[in-house]
Chains A and B, each alone.
Chain A
Amino acid sequence: MAQIIVVTSGKGGVGKTTSSAAIATGLAIRGHKTVVIDFDIGLRNLDLIMGCERRVVYDFVNVINGESNLNQALIKDKRSENLYVLPASQTRDKDALTREGVGKVLDELSKDFEYIVCDSPAGIETGALMALYFADVAIVTTNPEVSSVRDSDRILGILQSKSRRAEQNLEPIKEYLLLTRYSPTRVKNGEMLSVADVEEILAIKLLGVIPESQAVLRASNSGVPVIMDQESDAGQAYGDTVSRLLGEEIPLRFVTEEKKGLLKRIFGS
Protein backbone atom coordinates (compact mmCIF):
# COMPACT_ATOMS: atom_id res chain seq x y z
CA MET A 1 0.00 0.00 0.00
CA ALA A 2 1.24 3.40 -0.94
CA GLN A 3 1.29 6.32 1.42
CA ILE A 4 -0.81 9.19 0.08
CA ILE A 5 0.62 12.63 0.86
CA VAL A 6 -1.33 15.80 0.12
CA VAL A 7 0.48 19.12 -0.17
CA THR A 8 -2.20 21.63 0.71
CA SER A 9 -2.65 25.20 2.02
CA GLY A 10 -5.95 26.90 1.41
CA LYS A 11 -4.23 30.07 0.30
CA GLY A 12 -2.83 30.31 -3.21
CA GLY A 13 0.74 30.88 -4.23
CA VAL A 14 2.38 29.78 -1.00
CA GLY A 15 4.62 27.14 -2.59
CA LYS A 16 2.56 23.93 -2.86
CA THR A 17 3.67 23.05 -6.37
CA THR A 18 7.30 23.96 -5.65
CA SER A 19 7.12 21.77 -2.53
CA SER A 20 5.28 18.87 -4.20
CA ALA A 21 7.90 18.72 -6.95
CA ALA A 22 10.78 18.95 -4.48
CA ILE A 23 9.43 16.39 -2.02
CA ALA A 24 8.42 13.87 -4.69
CA THR A 25 11.83 14.19 -6.32
CA GLY A 26 13.55 13.84 -2.94
CA LEU A 27 11.63 10.66 -2.10
CA ALA A 28 12.46 9.17 -5.50
CA ILE A 29 16.16 10.03 -5.26
CA ARG A 30 16.24 8.13 -1.98
CA GLY A 31 15.00 5.05 -3.71
CA HIS A 32 11.26 5.22 -3.10
CA LYS A 33 9.01 4.68 -6.07
CA THR A 34 6.95 7.87 -6.18
CA VAL A 35 4.27 9.47 -8.32
CA VAL A 36 3.30 13.13 -8.08
CA ILE A 37 -0.19 14.14 -9.23
CA ASP A 38 -1.34 17.60 -10.29
CA PHE A 39 -4.84 18.20 -8.92
CA ASP A 40 -5.00 21.75 -10.26
CA ILE A 41 -7.42 20.99 -13.09
CA GLY A 42 -7.53 23.71 -15.71
CA LEU A 43 -4.40 25.42 -14.38
CA ARG A 44 -1.70 22.85 -14.58
CA ASN A 45 1.71 23.91 -13.37
CA LEU A 46 3.45 20.89 -11.98
CA ASP A 47 4.55 19.71 -15.45
CA LEU A 48 6.49 22.98 -15.87
CA ILE A 49 8.15 22.78 -12.46
CA MET A 50 9.08 19.15 -13.17
CA GLY A 51 10.29 20.10 -16.67
CA CYS A 52 8.13 17.56 -18.51
CA GLU A 53 5.58 19.87 -20.16
CA ARG A 54 6.47 18.80 -23.67
CA ARG A 55 5.83 15.16 -22.91
CA VAL A 56 2.24 15.54 -21.71
CA VAL A 57 -0.09 13.48 -23.92
CA TYR A 58 -2.86 12.26 -21.69
CA ASP A 59 -3.81 13.57 -18.27
CA PHE A 60 -5.49 12.75 -14.96
CA VAL A 61 -8.99 13.53 -16.30
CA ASN A 62 -8.46 11.36 -19.39
CA VAL A 63 -7.65 8.47 -17.08
CA ILE A 64 -10.69 9.09 -14.88
CA ASN A 65 -12.94 9.24 -17.95
CA GLY A 66 -11.45 6.05 -19.35
CA GLU A 67 -10.07 7.86 -22.42
CA SER A 68 -6.59 6.56 -21.72
CA ASN A 69 -5.09 4.08 -19.34
CA LEU A 70 -2.84 5.04 -16.47
CA ASN A 71 0.36 3.91 -18.16
CA GLN A 72 -0.31 6.12 -21.15
CA ALA A 73 -0.79 9.17 -18.94
CA LEU A 74 2.09 8.69 -16.50
CA ILE A 75 5.24 10.56 -17.49
CA LYS A 76 8.51 9.05 -16.41
CA ASP A 77 10.89 11.59 -14.94
CA LYS A 78 14.12 12.14 -16.87
CA ARG A 79 16.26 12.40 -13.77
CA SER A 80 15.08 9.67 -11.49
CA GLU A 81 14.22 6.07 -12.22
CA ASN A 82 11.66 6.00 -9.45
CA LEU A 83 9.65 9.08 -10.29
CA TYR A 84 6.50 9.58 -12.37
CA VAL A 85 4.27 12.59 -12.99
CA LEU A 86 0.52 12.50 -13.59
CA PRO A 87 -0.37 15.86 -15.15
CA ALA A 88 -3.63 17.77 -14.77
CA SER A 89 -5.72 18.61 -17.78
CA GLN A 90 -5.42 22.11 -19.11
CA THR A 91 -8.91 22.73 -20.40
CA ARG A 92 -11.66 20.93 -18.57
CA ASP A 93 -13.65 22.11 -15.62
CA LYS A 94 -12.75 20.98 -12.16
CA ASP A 95 -15.96 18.98 -11.72
CA ALA A 96 -14.26 16.37 -13.86
CA LEU A 97 -12.76 15.07 -10.61
CA THR A 98 -15.20 12.73 -8.90
CA ARG A 99 -14.55 10.94 -5.67
CA GLU A 100 -15.06 7.55 -7.32
CA GLY A 101 -12.81 8.44 -10.24
CA VAL A 102 -10.00 9.79 -8.07
CA GLY A 103 -10.34 6.85 -5.69
CA LYS A 104 -9.99 4.35 -8.51
CA VAL A 105 -6.87 6.00 -9.91
CA LEU A 106 -5.26 6.20 -6.45
CA ASP A 107 -6.10 2.54 -5.81
CA GLU A 108 -4.43 1.51 -9.02
CA LEU A 109 -1.36 3.64 -8.30
CA SER A 110 -1.16 2.22 -4.77
CA LYS A 111 -0.31 -1.18 -6.20
CA ASP A 112 2.85 0.09 -7.90
CA PHE A 113 4.06 3.02 -5.86
CA GLU A 114 5.37 3.62 -2.35
CA TYR A 115 4.42 7.31 -2.23
CA ILE A 116 1.70 9.25 -3.99
CA VAL A 117 2.18 13.01 -3.66
CA CYS A 118 -0.93 15.09 -4.41
CA ASP A 119 -0.31 18.71 -5.40
CA SER A 120 -3.50 20.48 -4.29
CA PRO A 121 -4.93 23.56 -5.95
CA ALA A 122 -5.58 26.62 -3.77
CA GLY A 123 -8.96 27.20 -2.17
CA ILE A 124 -11.42 24.85 -0.54
CA GLU A 125 -13.41 23.85 -3.63
CA THR A 126 -13.73 20.47 -5.35
CA GLY A 127 -10.13 20.19 -6.54
CA ALA A 128 -8.67 20.89 -3.11
CA LEU A 129 -11.18 18.62 -1.38
CA MET A 130 -10.42 15.77 -3.81
CA ALA A 131 -6.68 16.19 -3.32
CA LEU A 132 -6.96 15.81 0.46
CA TYR A 133 -9.85 13.34 0.71
CA PHE A 134 -7.81 10.11 0.45
CA ALA A 135 -4.68 11.39 2.21
CA ASP A 136 -2.74 9.58 4.93
CA VAL A 137 -0.38 12.50 5.47
CA ALA A 138 -0.96 16.24 4.94
CA ILE A 139 1.81 18.74 4.43
CA VAL A 140 0.22 22.07 5.28
CA THR A 141 2.27 24.57 3.34
CA THR A 142 2.22 27.95 5.04
CA ASN A 143 3.88 31.34 4.61
CA PRO A 144 4.69 33.33 7.76
CA GLU A 145 1.91 35.80 7.09
CA VAL A 146 -1.58 36.28 8.59
CA SER A 147 -3.85 35.20 5.74
CA SER A 148 -1.80 32.12 4.97
CA VAL A 149 -1.79 30.99 8.62
CA ARG A 150 -5.53 31.53 8.94
CA ASP A 151 -6.19 29.53 5.75
CA SER A 152 -3.91 26.76 6.98
CA ASP A 153 -5.98 26.52 10.12
CA ARG A 154 -9.13 26.26 8.01
CA ILE A 155 -7.57 23.47 5.98
CA LEU A 156 -6.73 21.67 9.22
CA GLY A 157 -10.43 21.82 10.12
CA ILE A 158 -11.32 20.32 6.75
CA LEU A 159 -8.71 17.56 7.08
CA GLN A 160 -10.28 16.70 10.43
CA SER A 161 -13.87 16.61 9.18
CA LYS A 162 -14.11 16.10 5.43
CA SER A 163 -11.41 13.53 4.66
CA ARG A 164 -11.89 9.82 4.17
CA ARG A 165 -10.12 9.11 7.44
CA ALA A 166 -12.41 11.51 9.30
CA GLU A 167 -15.59 10.27 7.67
CA GLN A 168 -14.77 6.63 8.33
CA ASN A 169 -13.52 7.24 11.86
CA LEU A 170 -10.07 5.92 11.02
CA GLU A 171 -6.82 7.08 12.54
CA PRO A 172 -6.62 10.82 11.65
CA ILE A 173 -4.47 12.17 8.85
CA LYS A 174 -0.92 12.96 10.04
CA GLU A 175 -0.65 16.74 9.84
CA TYR A 176 2.67 18.47 9.24
CA LEU A 177 3.57 22.12 8.95
CA LEU A 178 5.89 23.20 6.16
CA LEU A 179 6.82 26.85 6.56
CA THR A 180 7.96 28.32 3.26
CA ARG A 181 9.37 31.66 2.03
CA TYR A 182 10.87 32.27 5.45
CA SER A 183 13.11 35.26 5.91
CA PRO A 184 15.24 35.12 9.08
CA THR A 185 16.28 38.75 8.66
CA ARG A 186 12.70 39.99 8.62
CA VAL A 187 11.86 37.80 11.59
CA LYS A 188 14.77 39.31 13.47
CA ASN A 189 13.53 42.81 12.62
CA GLY A 190 10.11 41.99 14.00
CA GLU A 191 8.50 42.14 10.57
CA MET A 192 7.64 38.49 10.11
CA LEU A 193 6.11 35.74 12.23
CA SER A 194 8.79 33.37 13.50
CA VAL A 195 8.84 29.58 13.19
CA ALA A 196 7.94 29.37 16.87
CA ASP A 197 5.00 31.78 16.44
CA VAL A 198 3.45 29.76 13.61
CA GLU A 199 4.10 26.46 15.39
CA GLU A 200 2.40 27.80 18.49
CA ILE A 201 -0.64 29.11 16.62
CA LEU A 202 -1.26 26.05 14.45
CA ALA A 203 -0.02 23.50 17.00
CA ILE A 204 0.99 20.80 14.52
CA LYS A 205 4.32 19.08 14.04
CA LEU A 206 6.90 21.06 12.08
CA LEU A 207 8.28 19.20 9.07
CA GLY A 208 10.54 21.88 7.68
CA VAL A 209 11.34 25.51 7.07
CA ILE A 210 12.19 26.62 3.52
CA PRO A 211 13.87 30.01 3.27
CA GLU A 212 12.83 32.66 0.77
CA SER A 213 15.36 31.89 -1.92
CA GLN A 214 16.40 33.02 -5.38
CA ALA A 215 17.14 29.39 -6.18
CA VAL A 216 13.40 28.67 -6.44
CA LEU A 217 12.88 30.94 -9.46
CA ARG A 218 16.07 29.66 -11.07
CA ALA A 219 14.76 26.12 -10.61
CA SER A 220 11.36 26.88 -12.09
CA ASN A 221 12.95 28.73 -15.01
CA SER A 222 14.84 25.62 -15.94
CA GLY A 223 12.21 23.03 -15.05
CA VAL A 224 14.39 21.29 -12.49
CA PRO A 225 12.92 20.84 -8.98
CA VAL A 226 14.86 23.02 -6.53
CA ILE A 227 15.84 20.01 -4.41
CA MET A 228 18.21 19.04 -7.26
CA ASP A 229 20.18 22.23 -6.54
CA GLN A 230 21.94 20.97 -3.46
CA GLU A 231 24.21 24.00 -3.43
CA SER A 232 21.24 26.21 -2.61
CA ASP A 233 19.68 26.91 0.77
CA ALA A 234 16.17 26.02 -0.42
CA GLY A 235 17.43 22.80 -2.04
CA GLN A 236 19.11 21.72 1.19
CA ALA A 237 16.11 22.72 3.28
CA TYR A 238 13.85 20.53 1.09
CA GLY A 239 16.39 17.73 1.46
CA ASP A 240 16.09 18.00 5.24
CA THR A 241 12.30 18.07 4.94
CA VAL A 242 12.30 14.79 3.01
CA SER A 243 14.60 13.23 5.61
CA ARG A 244 12.18 14.20 8.38
CA LEU A 245 9.26 12.84 6.39
CA LEU A 246 11.16 9.54 6.30
CA GLY A 247 11.52 9.64 10.06
CA GLU A 248 14.97 11.09 10.58
CA GLU A 249 15.46 13.69 13.27
CA ILE A 250 17.63 16.51 12.08
CA PRO A 251 18.02 20.08 13.30
CA LEU A 252 16.53 23.03 11.43
CA ARG A 253 18.80 25.03 9.18
CA PHE A 254 18.46 28.46 7.53
CA VAL A 255 16.29 29.84 10.33
CA THR A 256 18.77 32.36 11.65
CA GLU A 257 20.28 35.26 9.82
CA GLU A 258 23.42 34.39 7.89
CA LYS A 259 26.59 36.04 9.04
CA LYS A 260 27.46 39.09 7.06
CA GLY A 261 30.76 40.74 6.23
CA LEU A 262 31.84 43.87 8.08
CA LEU A 263 30.67 46.28 5.37
CA LYS A 264 27.25 44.70 5.18
CA ARG A 265 27.00 44.79 8.92
CA ILE A 266 27.55 48.53 8.93
CA PHE A 267 25.52 49.48 5.89
CA GLY A 268 22.96 46.71 5.70
CA SER A 269 22.13 44.87 2.51
Chain B
Amino acid sequence: MSILDYFRSSKKANTATVAKERLQIIVAHQRGERGAPDYFPLMKQEIIAVIRKYVHISEEQVSVQLEQNDDNLSVLELNVTLPERN
Protein backbone atom coordinates (compact mmCIF):
# COMPACT_ATOMS: atom_id res chain seq x y z
CA MET B 1 0.00 0.00 0.00
CA SER B 2 1.28 3.47 -0.76
CA ILE B 3 1.24 6.34 1.70
CA LEU B 4 -1.52 7.98 -0.31
CA ASP B 5 -3.50 4.73 -0.26
CA TYR B 6 -3.15 4.68 3.48
CA PHE B 7 -4.89 8.01 3.86
CA ARG B 8 -7.43 7.17 1.19
CA SER B 9 -8.44 3.84 2.62
CA SER B 10 -8.38 4.82 6.28
CA LYS B 11 -11.42 6.99 5.67
CA LYS B 12 -13.42 4.27 3.98
CA ALA B 13 -15.11 1.38 5.70
CA ASN B 14 -14.09 -2.11 4.79
CA THR B 15 -16.86 -2.84 2.31
CA ALA B 16 -15.61 -6.36 1.58
CA THR B 17 -16.52 -7.35 5.13
CA VAL B 18 -20.00 -5.92 4.65
CA ALA B 19 -20.34 -7.87 1.40
CA LYS B 20 -19.27 -11.07 3.08
CA GLU B 21 -21.74 -10.71 5.93
CA ARG B 22 -24.61 -9.96 3.56
CA LEU B 23 -23.73 -12.94 1.39
CA GLN B 24 -23.54 -15.31 4.33
CA ILE B 25 -27.12 -14.43 5.22
CA ILE B 26 -28.38 -14.63 1.62
CA VAL B 27 -26.69 -17.96 0.95
CA ALA B 28 -27.90 -19.52 4.21
CA HIS B 29 -31.40 -18.41 3.27
CA GLN B 30 -31.16 -19.76 -0.30
CA ARG B 31 -29.78 -23.06 0.91
CA GLY B 32 -32.56 -23.35 3.46
CA GLU B 33 -35.11 -23.35 0.68
CA ARG B 34 -33.18 -25.71 -1.53
CA GLY B 35 -34.61 -29.13 -2.10
CA ALA B 36 -37.94 -27.91 -0.77
CA PRO B 37 -41.05 -29.08 -2.62
CA ASP B 38 -42.46 -26.91 -5.41
CA TYR B 39 -45.43 -25.85 -3.31
CA PHE B 40 -43.12 -24.45 -0.63
CA PRO B 41 -42.85 -20.78 -1.72
CA LEU B 42 -46.62 -20.46 -2.06
CA MET B 43 -47.28 -22.22 1.22
CA LYS B 44 -44.84 -19.85 2.88
CA GLN B 45 -46.66 -16.83 1.46
CA GLU B 46 -49.98 -18.17 2.68
CA ILE B 47 -48.69 -18.87 6.17
CA ILE B 48 -47.41 -15.30 6.35
CA ALA B 49 -50.79 -14.01 5.12
CA VAL B 50 -52.63 -15.93 7.82
CA ILE B 51 -50.39 -14.55 10.57
CA ARG B 52 -50.89 -11.06 9.17
CA LYS B 53 -54.62 -11.35 9.64
CA TYR B 54 -53.99 -11.28 13.37
CA VAL B 55 -50.71 -9.44 13.95
CA HIS B 56 -49.06 -6.64 12.11
CA ILE B 57 -45.70 -7.98 10.93
CA SER B 58 -43.43 -7.57 7.95
CA GLU B 59 -42.14 -10.41 5.83
CA GLU B 60 -38.66 -10.27 7.38
CA GLN B 61 -40.12 -11.10 10.76
CA VAL B 62 -41.20 -14.51 9.59
CA SER B 63 -38.81 -17.27 8.74
CA VAL B 64 -40.16 -20.50 7.37
CA GLN B 65 -37.50 -23.17 6.88
CA LEU B 66 -37.70 -26.74 5.82
CA GLU B 67 -35.02 -28.89 7.32
CA GLN B 68 -34.21 -32.27 5.90
CA ASN B 69 -32.88 -34.23 8.86
CA ASP B 70 -32.63 -37.57 7.16
CA ASP B 71 -34.29 -39.44 4.34
CA ASN B 72 -37.68 -39.91 5.94
CA LEU B 73 -37.91 -36.98 8.31
CA SER B 74 -38.08 -33.30 7.56
CA VAL B 75 -39.00 -30.53 9.93
CA LEU B 76 -40.93 -27.42 9.04
CA GLU B 77 -39.65 -24.65 11.25
CA LEU B 78 -41.70 -21.51 11.67
CA ASN B 79 -40.19 -18.55 13.43
CA VAL B 80 -42.16 -15.38 13.96
CA THR B 81 -40.84 -12.29 15.68
CA LEU B 82 -43.94 -10.68 17.15
CA PRO B 83 -44.03 -6.95 17.75
CA GLU B 84 -43.87 -5.92 21.41
CA ARG B 85 -47.24 -5.42 23.01
CA ASN B 86 -47.91 -2.05 24.50
Contact = CB atoms under 8 A, between A and B. Distances in A.
A160 B34 contact: yes
Contacts of A268: 2, 4-5, 8
Nearest to B1: A188
A105 interface: no
B19 A146 contact: yes
B2 to A, nearest CB: 4
Contacts of B13: 190
A103 to B, nearest CB: 24
A10 to B, nearest CB: 11
Contacts of B27: 149-150, 153, 201-202
Interface stretch (A40-48, A79-87, A191-199): A191-199
A161 B38 CA distance: 12
Task: Identify whether the interface residues of B are mostly helix, strand, loop, or mixed.
Answer: helix
A187 interface: yes
Contacts of A145: 19
Interface stretch (A53-61, A210-218, A259-267): A259-267
Contacts of B30: 150, 153-154, 157
A266 B2 contact: yes
B26 interface: yes
A201 B24 CA distance: 6
A268 B15 CA distance: 20
A157 B20 contact: no
B22 A189 contact: no
Nearest to B17: A190
Interface of B: 1-5, 8-9, 12-17, 19-20, 22-24, 26-27, 30-31, 34-35
Given A190-B14, A191-B16, A266-B4, 17 more contacts: A149-B27, A150-B23, A160-B35, A189-B1, A190-B16, A190-B17, A191-B15, A193-B16, A193-B19, A197-B20, A260-B2, A264-B2, A266-B3, A267-B2, A267-B3, A268-B4, A268-B8
Interface of A: 145-146, 149-150, 153-154, 157, 160-161, 187-194, 197, 200-202, 260, 264-269
